[in-house]
Structure 1
Amino acid sequence: MTTALPATAAPTTRTLRGPRGLVRAVLLVHRTALVFWGLTLTAATALLIWMHAIGDEARLAVGPCASPPTGGRPSCAELGSITADERYTDGISLATALIAYLIFPIAAWAGGALVGRELESGTARLTWTQSVTPARWLAAKLAVPAVLITVGTSALVALIVWARGDDHPSLVGNWYQTEAFISTGPTAVGFALAGLALGALSGLLCGRALPAAGLSFAACLLLHTVLDRVREHLWPAVTLTANGSPTFQLPRESLAVDWNVEGHRVVTATYHPPSHLRPIQYVETGLLLTVAAAATLAAFALLRRRTP
């Protein structure tokens, strides 16, 4: 004889939408970092929208003028009273620096909070006893922030390119300067992902939050410095010959790589024109993604050796 269960006792199934399982766990555990990332993106977006709004006025302030105004040129006195160029330059500098150096807070957070703290507190091992393998744990730890970092950084890069307008060097600096170079292309995403991977590897190496944060910061500082010094050699430079000219001048906004001088006269010079920006960015991004992939593989290999 069987007894039917009351309707109220029947098990119910809820269809959950959004992140589940390990993904949800990562988001919940690190919700403070998630909120901070969201606030950072919001603040940077507002700043860059403002920079775009005052961009035309700022470019007018550094444009040609005449005293008295002649030939269609405005009065220099009138342009001298415009201060939008100062606000614009400061705002763009702040935004480019934020994007260019994202690697450091990302790496310190990944090493200290994302991995190091969970190993130090024993939370990671507790997770591994709940039908979650160490490899799946690490994969979730890396995949969730990687997606958020990629999307967010890509959005910031698109906004900074939009806000810079025609890239007037007097306002936004030259294309080959470190902050401008990194923040205006895929290199920014490459640096951010490299920082995440190096931070995770540092967390596994140290097993404690504070040393891991320090190690990941140092590793990223080394990577950032090396690439900054070899960047001009990542793409073949153009050679310009003086051809007997008494005056020698490189094309506007060019990055000089080397000068060949005989006596007191320049004979040849090698340089990068502005058109080399994208090729150099792509090569550097490839190197950064290689570093990120190598650090990720090393992290999984280290985790496999240290866990049953």
Structure 2
Amino acid sequence: MSTPTPHRPAGLTWTVLRLHRTALYAWGAALLATAAVLAWMYVIGPDARAAARSCAAPGAGRAACAHLQAIDADAIYANGLDLVATCVTYLMVPVAAWAGAALIGRELESGTAQLAWTQSVTPVRWLAAKLAVPAVVLTAGTTLAVLLNVWARGDENGDLAGDWFSLHVYDSTGPVAVGYVLAGLALGALAGLVLRRALPAAGAAFAAALVLHDVLSRFRMSLWPASTVTGQAALHLPSGALALEHGAVTRNGERLGNDLACVGLDRSTDISRCVERTGLADFWATYQPESHFWPLQLVESGLLLAVAGLATAAAFTLLRRRTP
């Protein structure tokens, strides 16, 4: 009697995972390393915040602060969080290069894709599996990294963890991280189908990902209406706010932009003297409060998903035109 053969996974999903198992192992190792670093940051977080408070306390000497920042937990904590945030921020770049080179470009260049199309796999099903499998894996892994990053940051001490609007913090603590990764995957796949060669596709996808990130990071604070205040409130913006512009109005009614006169003065008498000395009648400021973090994140994530959708649609259209 013959021994039944054990059941083995089959199908396009298993084929994609097996073919790109090296990238899958690397992705898993990167997630494990990220989780280990962030778990360590969470453990030393209380000590880091205590060290930062001691340094900021009245009467703390420069020598004591320098000592704390040089060898204690606060520097390790801040540097560890910044390292992880930087890696998550630019994750879309290697993802785009990999998608253009290994996921699509190499198979078209070597002819393995055309061989698969002669079997029972249609070109559309082939591309759908090529995109869907890594999209699921990348979305799950990036989401996990973002959640761990937020968890490790604790109470968001800006001196240690960075301000919410700083480039690396903003990109690594919200859904835009997933949006950038999916956009990078789609751009890489499109580059692979257009160029049909691994190295040129990797270079083109790499450049496209960098350009996309640079453009959106430059204009992201314009994606949601900013708040404007006048009077003395313009001189003391809420904690955590990102000041976009400070201005003043002269006694003649002239509106001055980027005018920092009297900003930072606390006492009313000091403000009155500054107003009298500068000849100003009023102040205004435009800023993004910390409460706008989520609206900004959601709008930018929507734009990124739109880019990913358009690139994916273009890839399928191109594939249909090039195959019978």
Q: TM-score, length-normalised on structure 1? A: 0.89
Residue pairs, 1:1-308, within 5 angstroms: 8=2, 15-16=7-8, 19-63=9-53, 64-67=56-59, 77=64, 80-81=67-68, 83-242=72-231, 245=232, 248-262=235-249, 267-308=283-324
For the 8 Å contact 1:93–1:172, the answer to whether it is kept is: yes
Contact 1:67 1:77 survives alignment (8 Å): no
Residue 77 of structure 1 and its aligned partner are, at CA, apart by: 4.3
Q: Secondary structure at the match of 1:262?
A: strand
> How far is the alpha carbon of 1:297 from its aligned partner?
0.6
Shift in CA distance, 78/217, structure 1 to aligned 2, threshold 3 Å: closer
SS in 2 for 1:93: helix
Q: Distance in 2 between matches of 1:282 and 1:133?
A: 36
User: Alpha-carbon deviation of 1:103?
Assistant: 0.4
1:117 Cα deviation after fit: 0.5
Where does residue 267 of structure 2 map in the other structure? none
Which whole-Å deviations, capped at 9, do the CAs of 1:86-130 have from their partners, x for residues lacking one?
000110000000111100000000001100000001110011011
Contact map agreement 1:238 1:272 (CA 8 A) in 2: yes
Q: 1:20 offset after TM fit, Å?
A: 2.6
SS of residue paired to 2:229 = strand
Question: Deviations along 1:212-261, whole A, 9 cap, x unmatched?
Answer: 0011111111110110111001111111102xx49812222211223333
Q: Which segment drifts farther, 58-67 or 108-117? A: 58-67
Question: Partners in 1 of 2:10 and 2:222 — Cα distance?
Answer: 46
Distance 1:114 1:66 in 2: 57
Asked if structure 2 preserves the Cα contact closer than 8 Å seen for 1:120 and 1:207, the reply is yes
Contact 1:61 1:79 in 2 (8 A): no
The AA in structure 1 aligned to 2:16 is: V
Question: Could you tell me whether the CA contact under 8 Å between 1:60 and 1:79 is conserved in 2?
Answer: no
Q: Deviations over 1:118-163 (max 9, x none)?
A: 0001110011011110000000000010000000000000000000
Following superposition, the deviation at residue 8 of structure 1 comes to 4.0
RMSD, matched Cα: 2.1
Q: Distance in 2 between matches of 1:254 and 1:115?
A: 44
Count of residues paired in the alignment: 290
Separation of aligned partners in 2, 1:204 and 1:78 = 55
Contact in 2 for aligned 1:61/1:80 (Cα 8 Å): no
The Cα offsets for residues 177-201 of structure 1, whole Å up to 9 and x where unpaired, read as 1110010011100000000000000
Q: What is the CA distance between 1:15 and its match in structure 2?
A: 4.3
Bigger mean CA deviation after superposition, 268-277 or 58-67: 58-67
Residue deviations 1:74-94 (CA, integer Å, cap 9, x gap): xx9499446100000110000
**SS at the partner of 1:62?**
helix
- Measured in 2, the distance between the counterparts of 1:254 and 1:232 equals 12
Which digits, 9 at most, give the CA deviation of each residue in 1:260-306, with x for residues without a partner?
Answer: 33355572111111111111001110110111011001000000000
Supply the distance in 2 between the matched residues of 1:8 and 1:180 (Cα, whole angstroms): 60
Residue 3 of structure 1: aligned partner = none
- What is the percent sequence identity of the aligned residues? 54
Q: Distance in 2 between matches of 1:54 and 1:149?
A: 29
- TM-score, normalising length: structure 2: 0.84
- Kept in 1, the 8 Å contact 2:234–2:246? The answer is no
* SS state at 1:257 partner: strand
Q: Using the alignment, how far apart are the partners of 1:214 and 1:287 within structure 2?
A: 23
